[in-house]
Every structure is written in C-alpha cells, then in structure tokens.
Amino acid sequence: MNLSFFDQFMSPHLLGIPLILISLLFPALLFPSPRNRWMTNRISTLQSWFIYTITKQLMTPLNKKGHKWALILSSLMIFLLSINLLGLLPYTFTPTTQLSMNLALAFPLWLATLLTGLRNQPSASLGHLLPEGTPTPLIPALIMIETTSLLIRPLALGVRLTANLTAGHLLIQLISTATAALFSIMPAISILTACVLLLLTILEVAVAMIQAYVFVLLLSLYLQENI
C-alpha cells in the first residue's frame, strides 16, 4: 500500500519509451502562437498580459545588463508554472517531482550566473566569499563556509521544488484514499475529509504557482549578485 503512493512519481513508459519528453513538450501546445494581426482574441491578449507581468516582476530588481536574461527567466517561469499546474490534474505525471530534472534546470543556470560574475567582475564575485571586516583567525573558516553555501545553491533550488511538490501530491493522495475508504463506513467523516481535500487542492494550486515563482526569483537574485 505504501509503495503505491509513490508510483505516481515514476516516469511513465509506453513500449519501453519514456513519456517524460511528451509531458515536457505538452505545455507548449496550450499557449497560442502569436499572429501578425492588429486584432487578437482574448486568449492571446491574456497571454501577452501574463508574460508582460511576469517579465516586469522578475526584471525590476535587475539593472540593464540583467535584462538580457528576460527571455530565459520568463520562459522558465511559464514552463515550470504550466508543468506544476498540469501535474495537479488526475492521472497526470509531474516532471518537476523528479530531482534529476530540477537539478538539470538549476545547475546550468546557476553556473551561468556564476560564470557571468567571474567574467565581468571577478573581484566583486570573489569578494562575496569573505565579508568585510572579518577577523584574521576566522578568514579560512568563513571562506570554506561561504564557498559551501555557494556550491549548494543549485542543490537547494532543486530539492526545494521537488520536496514541496512531492509532499503536496502525497497529501492529496493520502486524503483522497481516506475519503474513498471512509465513504461506505462513516459518510459524515468522509464528507469532512472531502472538504479538507478540496481546501488542500486549492492550497496546492497556490504552492505550484509560488514554487515556480520562487525558483526563478532565486535565480534572478543570484544573477543580480553577479552583475
């Protein structure tokens, strides 16, 4: 019984072919392609407003040099948001519950921000490893601590996204299983747990959006430190 709860996090296969690539490409089909017309429909207008709002929110703390990352960060935000929300639908697979995928997204982007800082302002980037005014005996220990905290940033990004989504999916499955099991025994308790399940689902929708935003926001803050 306990093993079946984790079956939802296994990558689905069809004839030995992993379907995770299809689940990664599917969100792109939900967004209408832009058209060269003066008048657009409501969906295109809503899409443009949504992308503009996300880009403005992410680029406000950055200077003009960081605006070159607007396309990457906005696309990543929409990508993660779409996958997280689609994963809440029944009988679907959420790729962002896989730690390997989240690390594959976090590590290259974190490394790119780090290399950008080392190329453009190496002294300022290395200066973050040693706070100003540090006593001389504490310098080796602080350098090791700051270096460790710098290197675990991509791991923290991936683990945070994976843990939050995995915990939410497990809670939804546990409560839904309890609701179905109690329906024939104690209908009143089953209705109560169904109400809890509804509230938890609404909470998970908010968590899916917040975690996608936090993932990209932290990357933008890492970028801000290095430009």
- Reported as a single tens digit per residue, the pLDDT across 41-81 is 777 777 778 888 888 888 887 777 778 888 888 889 888 98
| 5: pLDDT strictly greater than 70 | no
The lowest-confidence range among 2-6, 77-81, 88-92, 108-112 is 2-6
210: which 2 tokens?
A: 């917040």
Cβ-contact 35, 48 below 8 angstroms? no
pTM of the model: 0.81
CA distances for 51 relative to 54, 58, 89, angstroms: 5, 11, 23
Q: Count CB neighbours of 15 within 10 A.
A: 4
Tell me if 1 is assigned to some domain. no
> Into how many domains does the chain fold?
1
In this structure, the chain runs to a length of 227
Return the pLDDT at 1: 45
Return the pLDDT at 159: 92
Query: What mean pLDDT is predicted for residues 170-184?
Result: 86
Residue-number span of the structural domain to which 182 is assigned:
18-26+42-123+150-226
Helices (H) and strands (E) in the chain, counts: 9, 2
The C-alpha atoms of residue 126 and residue 191 are separated, in whole angstroms, by: 58
Closest CA to 213 of 69, 57, 12: 57
Tell me if 96 is assigned to some domain. yes
Tell me if 135 is assigned to some domain. no
| Dihedral sign from CA coordinates of 138, 139, 140, 144 | positive
Tell me if 110 is assigned to some domain. yes
- Beta-bridged to residue 13, according to DSSP, are 18
Tell me if 4 is assigned to some domain. no
90: which 2 tokens?
A: 């029944």
User: 153-169 burial string, b = 16+ CB within 10 Å, else e?
Assistant: bbeebbebbbebbbebb
Percent over 70 (pLDDT), the chain: 85
| Dihedral sign from CA coordinates of 93, 45, 75, 171 | negative
For the stretch 116-172, pLDDT in tens is 888 888 777 777 777 777 777 877 888 888 888 888 999 999 999 999 998 888 888
Return the pLDDT at 49: 83
| 218: pLDDT strictly greater than 60 | yes
Tell me if 201 is assigned to some domain. yes
